[in-house]
Amino acid sequence: MSNYFDGGKEFDEWLVRRWARFTSSTNYKAIGTAGSFDTYVEEKAIELCTNLWERPELEFVSSLLWGKVYEQPAAERYMKESKNYSMSYIGREQPMFYIDKTMPDDCGGSPDMANILDGGTIDYLCEIKCPKNPAYHFKRLAWTSQFDIKEKYIQCYTQMQDLIRVTGAFGCDFVSFDERQIAKSKQIKIIEVKPDRKFIDNLEIKLHTAVREKYKLISKHMGAEIKSKAEWMGYLNAA
């Protein structure tokens, strides 16, 4: 696998760890339509069968770059507003990727902020969104609970619930931030999100299915029965 990247050692290692894994930020595709599920599985199967030679093309690049610029200021504002000064920003400059212990070779996620305890465990999370389009933040200001997020922003809701599942945290704050709002009080919206156990259980079932289907696709592609990443690596080493 090539090391030809340009984002710094921590960022490049983060990209490699995400490669071919089902990740919290995109796992909403696993609970979508049959078509989106199949496409998502195929995408990860292709990644596992392909060397990572250069940085993957990220979707919505301009929006992601916008979010990167404003995410750390949003984290600082969040700590000031919430008084959660024990939270650490572990976002896009030095991202941390947490492995799913139930599917360590195939799933995981990266929180934006976390309260990291002694020993490295996490008990609380924060997910930050800094939309480039001001209309998104404007609408989120009217949201009052996690059910609004679930109904109107399933991508982020899935991301937060999956991060809760992966890290074992007891909750996650949703933060929308846009300092372009003239009224300072309207620049940030914070909503507490608690574990949605039924949603999490369903998501975990979907991900276990996705992992099995990924290796079925790889088996068909290679003409050999492969049921895990260990078997895949063994196959490659013996070839």
When pLDDT is cut at 50, 70 and 90, the band that residue 202 belongs to is: very high
pLDDT of residue 52: 74
pLDDT category at 94 given cuts 50, 70, 90 is low
Section 50-67 average pLDDT: 60
Name the average pLDDT for the chain.
89
Cα(216)–Cα(234) distance, integer angstroms: 16
pLDDT of 13 reads 74
Model confidence over 184-194: pLDDT tens digits?
999 999 999 99
Higher pLDDT, 5 or 177: 177
Strand ranges of the sheet holding 88-89, from the earlier edge strand across to the other edge? 88-89, 113-116, 122-129, 172-177, 188-193
Q: Do 166 and 108 touch, CB atoms closer than 8 A?
A: yes
Task: Summarize pLDDT for 207-239 with one digit per residue, the tens.
Answer: 999 999 999 999 999 999 999 999 999 999 987
**CA of 98: how far to CAs of 111, 112, 141, in Å?**
8, 12, 30
Q: Is residue 64 pLDDT above 70, yes or no?
A: no
Q: Given the structure tokens 């914070």, which residue do they identify? A: 190
Give residue 15's pLDDT band: very low, low, confident or very high (50, 70, 90).
confident
Where in the chain are the domains? 9-238
What is the pLDDT averaged over residues 136-157? 98
Summarize the confidence of residues 89-117 as an average pLDDT.
90
CATH code of 9-238, in short, is 3.90.320.10
Output the pTM of the full model: 0.90
Residue 113 · residue 126 · CB < 8 Å: yes
Task: State the Cα–Cα distance between residues 122 and 170, nearest whole angstrom.
Answer: 9
pLDDT range class, residue 170, cuts 50, 70, 90 = very high
* pLDDT the model gives residue 93: 60
